[in-house]
Amino acid sequence: MKRAQAAGSETGERLQKILSRAGVASRRAAETLIEHGRVTVNGETVRELGTRADAAGDDIRVDGVRVRLAAAHAYILLNKPRGVVTTRHDPQKRPTVMDLVPALAGLFPVGRLDVSTEGLMLLTTDGNFAERVAHPRFQVPRVYHAKVWRVPEPETLARLRQGVRVEGERLGVDQARVLHAGNNAWLELTLHEGKHHEVRRLLKAVGHPVSKLKRVALGPLTTRGLQPGEYRHLRPAEVKALMHGGAARPAAGAASRRSRPASRPR
Ligand code: URA
């Protein structure tokens, strides 16, 4: 059987880190377990603290009991194209977001975008993460670019920020501004919740129905580098940022670059 890798080895992961990730003990307590000779890797007792192992491939045991890491969760950022439905199964057999990402067990979309909306959509296997991102309590900002009929007056933008009662429900935005104005306008709107058809209902209610809608940012994430239909896995730091600091504004980049008054959103 394969041996554990010696302390100087650069491959694998430190044994105490694996034990703490698996929830066996804190890193410090795991070091004590190792020093006391209670940990084996592939049948050999390991006492040296720098020893590395492969969490997925090696047989790691504490007091003879196999240590297993929970399967890693998946976190996928998709640039959803228009015409694709946000659902796991569509009885009408239309294309869904699931057709565009790997078929991972337990993967589901976080929140939803209308079939005619394009842009940033997260999919995950991690229910805690989904709750954290989707719940208005955590104030994760969502930034939309909306093409609307005519050009809203500054007073109308102020009304959007104050909140408007639509069909008995109060809808509103945190920020609203005009990105480009011609006969019609492109607006940038920032919200921290995702009520059903919220942007479309709100803008229709103030007399500026939406003809195109894109979600361009969510917390620190943007669709930069992803064409509609493309996806990528989130980096661990991005998952962490959304779990712990979702309220952070998107980094300077796509959203802000596109929001210069002279630039027409694509
Ligand atoms: N608001 C809407 O009206 N539609 C979306 O898809 C997202 C937000």
* CATH code, domain carrying 169: 3.30.2350.10
Residue 178, pLDDT score: 98
* CATH code, domain carrying 62: 3.10.290.10
Catalytic residue among 54, 114, 126, 174: 114
Contact 145, 187 (CB under 8 A): yes
Measured in Å, residue 199 CA sits from the centre of ligand 1 at 5
| Residue 57, CA distances (Å) to 2, 14, 40, 65, 245 in order | 9, 14, 14, 16, 34
Do 102 and 144 reside in the same domain of the chain?
Answer: yes
Residue 4, pLDDT score: 62
Q: Which two tokens stand for residue 100?
A: 């565009």
Residues with CB under 6 A from ligand 1: 113-114, 117, 197-200, 213
Residue closest via CA to ligand 1's atom 7 equals: 113
Do 212 and 88 reside in the same domain of the chain?
Answer: yes
Weakly modelled stretches of the chain, pLDDT under 50: 247-266
Measured in Å, residue 195 CA sits from the centre of ligand 1 at 8
Residue 239, pLDDT score: 93
Residue 20, pLDDT score: 80
Catalytic residue status for 59: no
Residue 13, pLDDT score: 86
Do 57 and 185 reside in the same domain of the chain?
Answer: no
Burial class (CB in 10 A: 0-12, 13-18, 19+), 134: middle
Measured in Å, residue 194 CA sits from the centre of ligand 1 at 7
Residue 227 placed within a domain: yes
Residue 22, pLDDT score: 77
Total number of domains constituting the chain: 2
Task: For ligand 1, pick from 145, 211, 213 the residue to mutate: most ligand atoms within 8 Å of CB.
Answer: 213
| Residue 204, CA distances (Å) to 73, 159, 160, 166, 199 in order | 39, 13, 11, 10, 8
Do 31 and 150 reside in the same domain of the chain?
Answer: no
CA pair distance 156, 165, nearest whole angstrom: 14
Classify 78 as helix, strand or coil: strand
Residue 165, pLDDT score: 96
Do 57 and 170 reside in the same domain of the chain?
Answer: no
Do 132 and 82 reside in the same domain of the chain?
Answer: yes
Q: Which two tokens stand for residue 184?
A: 């019609």
Which structural domain, as residue segments, surrounds residue 17? 13-66
